[in-house]
Every structure is written in C-alpha cells, then in structure tokens.
Amino acid sequence: MEILAFGVQDDERPLIERAFAGEHEVRCVDVFLNGDTAAIARGYEAVSTSVNADLGGPVLQTLAAGGTQFVAQRSTGFNNIDLDVAERLALTVARVSSYSPYSVAEFAWTLAMAVNRRVVRAANRTRDFDFRLEGLMGRDLRGRTVGVIGTGRIGEAFTRIAHGFGMNLLGWDLAENSVCAGLGMRYVEREELFREADVVSLHVPLLPSTEHLVDARALGLMKDDAILVNSSRGGLVDTRALVDVLRAGRLLGVGLDVYEAEAGLFFYDKSLDVVTDDVLARLMTFPNVVVTSHQAYYTEDAVTEIVDTTVRNVRDYVAGRHSENVLVPARPPR
C-alpha cells in the first residue's frame, strides 16, 4: 500500500521513511492537509496527517471521494477531526494516543524558566554586547507553588520536575493521579488553584468543556506576579482576555507553545508577510511573553515514538485490527 504523509518536517522525513521501509511505500510532502491540498491525496488509500491538519467535514469528503479509506494522524489531540463525518464516510481514523510525556513536560518547564529568568531578553541584549542586569531579576522556584491543570502522563511528568525543584504542588483533574498525590500534590478546585499558584501550567486536552478554561475570570483570580504556561492546546486560553490582563500590567510572564488561532500560521515562515492577526501581533509585543511554534513535542525520542505508533496503526488497519488508537472504528478485515 502507498501512503501519503502530509506536513512532514525535514527532521521528521528520514524517521518516517526508515520506519516504513520494506513494508509500505510512503510519499512525504511538506504541505499541510487542508481544503486546498486534500485533492493531491486522490488515489491514496491511506494518508498520514500532522497535528495542525484540517480534517473537517469538507476535507474528509474530498479524501473519501478520492479513494482514501484510512487517516493516521501523527498526534495525540484530535480536536481538528470531525469524527461524525468520518464515521458517515466509513473512514477509519487513528491517532497516536500517547508518546514521550517528557518532551512536552520538559519544554513546559523550559518556557516557565525562560519567562522567570528573562532568558530571551538577556540573550537579545548580550548579542548586542549589552551585559547589564537591570530588568533581568527572576525568582527561586523552591518553596513556591505550582498549579498543574491536568495530571495525566504529561502532567505527572511536569509534576515530577516541580517536585525536584522543591515546589508546593496543587493539582486539578477529574481523577486524581496517585503518583502525583504520592509526591505531595494537593488536589483542589480550579478557583483555588488559580488563586494560590505562582506557576500555572496546562496539560488537558481541548474539548468543548475545556475551551477557554483560562478565561477572564480565571485570569482575574491569578496572582499579579504569577506565570502562565500553555504547552497543550491554544484554545484552552482566551487570548483576548489574556492580552487585556497583560496590558493592565498583571502576570510576571506567559509562556505559550500553542495559540488558539495558530492554524495557517504555526509551522509556516511568515517572516516576510504582513501579520493580520491583531491579537497575536499584540501578544508578541509584551516583553514578558515567550511564544514558540508548537514545538514542545518535537524531540527525536517523541517523534520516533509517534512514527513507530503510526506504523503500527497502519498495520492494524491492513489487518482489520482495533486498538486504543482508533478514533473511528476500523473496517472489517479484507
């Protein structure tokens, strides 16, 4: 079977080609799957998509009309997929239900530390041979309080690091994680977590129930000198409300690896374009905000695991097997 893999980064290509070698033919393209590019999948029974693919109804219809029967998404999140339409079209859809939680957890702390210790500002200064310390004072994390929103595998890994820093641990989730509790985490209501935490980090999926979980009210509860980190999904944060809070001079800083309107922006070179997203443009003007391009997952270890899982998903599809990665039930065996 020949597979078309959309949105393949240069670093990722050899990993994908090596993983499928001798088993299936794979064609890697760097364009991302959306309404404009879906037509190039005509004739491919299986496609593999990246985290920012558009798998809404119209795109799925184009894929199905072109003969595609299987979609293997190379990510854990699936808020970009219209599963109801996929089921109506008899498309089998699978994802990578889990991969290295350390990649995201470590990067979340990278953002928190970069904000706390003013690393970006310091690096920019020293490149101009400005070695002053004014405006670069940070804070010790030991003894301060971290609030972890979502204590699954990534949240647990993030908590382990916080425990290593010697921080007080607050958590919020629908179910308590016994490992986190064993590290001394105290589970509280969201409101108390927002009020008490010096660092708030988000590790929950984007669902209708979690969209804008960090809204104006939640931001209003946070300490004026708190740090907010989001390495999960952009839609968890009401960015307009966040801009208002930053404009008012509140929050020590913000580290964002995701943005709620990142589709069509992140993973592209927009350096020569006019920025039409006024909210993002305003957000980037704040000196205490660090924005990265959805790269928290992007380690050799995590990407290798994602690719290997995608290969297994293809094998399961060919064999007609069902696994925990299948979002829309697999078709019967051939």
Pairing of strands 289-291, 199-202: unpaired
- Rounded CA separation 17/223 (Å): 48
Token pair of 299 as six digits: 């380690």
- Rounded CA separation 117/279 (Å): 25
Instruction: Give the active site residues.
Output: 233, 262
**Which amino acid is present at 258?**
V
| Phi and psi angles of residue 146, each rounded to the nearest 5 degrees, phi first | -110, 140
What is the reported pLDDT for 330?
Answer: 56
Mean pLDDT score of the chain? 95
| pTM of the predicted model as reported, rounded to 2 decimal places | 0.90
Per-residue pLDDT band for 250 (boundaries 50, 70, 90) equals very high
Q: How many CB atoms lie within 10 A of CB 99?
A: 24
pLDDT tens-digit map of 115-140: 999 999 999 999 999 999 999 999 99
In what side-by-side order are the strands of the sheet with 326-328? Answer: 25-28, 2-5, 46-49, 70-73, 92-94, 326-328
